[in-house]
Amino acid sequence: MNNFEYPSGATPLDPNEMEGLKLGHITAREELNRFEQDNINETLQWLANRRKSDILTEKFVKTLHQKMFGKVWKWAGSFRKSGKNIGVDWPQISTQLHTLLQDVRYWIEHKTYSEDEIAVRFHHRLVWVHLFANGNGRHARLMTNILLEEVLKQKPFTWNVTNINIEDKVRDSYLKALRQADNHDYSMLLDFVRADWKKSNKGQ
Ligand SMILES: Nc1ncnc2c1ncn2[C@@H]1O[C@H](COP(=O)(O)OP(=O)(O)OP(=O)(O)O)[C@@H](O)[C@H]1O
Ligand SMILES: [Mg+2]
């Protein structure tokens, strides 16, 4: 069986989940990343060309994950059925997601927070619930950018990078900001999502 190394803040897969790898020949983490990224790039095409529909539904949330990882993992688009070191107890996932989607609709309707704060709170709750066995970070970052562009009519977050993959250099500050958000302080995450690491380090 493959035994991949995981970056900090990533959720390791259990043996059952590893069996869901559709590409048996993959043995190295970098190779897996590349196949996943190809699959995600195709999803960006699909997103741009699809007939627009309500995105704040369980159906869309699952479909997006299925599109992003469906060529690589059999369980793409299905909620996880195992415990992780992060996330709610797995039988609670569907209920918790519905509560979150209701909350977001309420925040938008009542302008409870700024658009950016609505998106940041949405992102943090989505990764905190941890819907899937893997790909939660990438899925939740893309979901958040779709919320910003299609519903809130705002520019997408930069996440300090040009695509939705968090680079090692900025990963630590992303995780630090999420941990602050775990304690209900969203200020660091609000700064992070609109920062541009490359620009702020120009010339160094
Ligand atoms: N303390 C935390 N609070 C909230 N979310 C967290 C915390 N630690 C990690 N996360 C989220 O979990 C994600 C990792 O989960 P998972 O491995 O399923 O996602 P991924 O898409 O494979 O990861 P990546 O972010 O490397 O692309 C992180 O990217 C982050 O979004
Ligand atoms: Mg991962």
DSSP 148: I
Give residue 37's domain range.
15-197
The answer to whether residue 58 scores a pLDDT higher than 60 is yes
103 or 195, higher pLDDT: 103
Is 168 inside any structural domain? yes
Helix 115-129 and helix 168-182, axial crossing angle in degrees, nearest 10: 90
Cα 136 to middle of ligand 2, angstroms: 7
The answer to whether residue 138 scores a pLDDT higher than 70 is yes
Cα 127 to middle of ligand 1, angstroms: 6
pLDDT band at 200, cuts 50/70/90? Answer: low
Ligand 1 environment, Cβ below 6 A? 7, 9-11, 86, 127-128, 134-138, 140, 166, 175, 178-179, 182
Is 203 inside any structural domain? no
Tell which one of 69, 86, 166, 189 to mutate to probe ligand 1, the residue whose CB is within 8 A of the most ligand atoms. Answer: 86
Which pLDDT score is estimated for 196?
Answer: 77
Is 131 inside any structural domain? yes
Q: What is the mean pLDDT of residues 105-116?
A: 98
Is 137 inside any structural domain? yes
Is 9 inside any structural domain? no
Determine which residue's CA is closest to atom 20 belonging to ligand 1.
135
Cα 10 to middle of ligand 1, angstroms: 5
Cα 203 to middle of ligand 1, angstroms: 30
Is 1 inside any structural domain? no
Which pLDDT score is estimated for 12?
Answer: 75
Is 5 inside any structural domain? no
Mean pLDDT estimate for the chain: 90
Which pLDDT score is estimated for 30?
Answer: 83
Among 137, 105, 103, smallest CA distance to 123 is for: 137
What is the CATH number for 67? Answer: 1.10.3290.10
Domain count, the chain: 1
Which pLDDT score is estimated for 114?
Answer: 98
DSSP 158: -
Q: Does residue 134 contact residue 12 with C-beta atoms inside 8 Å?
A: no
Q: Does residue 36 contact residue 72 with C-beta atoms inside 8 Å?
A: yes
Closest ligand to C-alpha of residue 125 is 1
What is the position in ligand 1's atom list of the atom closest to the CA of 9?
Answer: 9
Is 7 inside any structural domain? no
What is the position in ligand 1's atom list of the atom closest to the CA of 164?
Answer: 27
Interval 145-190: pLDDT, tens? 999 999 999 999 988 775 556 666 788 889 999 999 999 999 999 9
Among 94, 92, 132, 119, smallest CA distance to 194 is for: 119
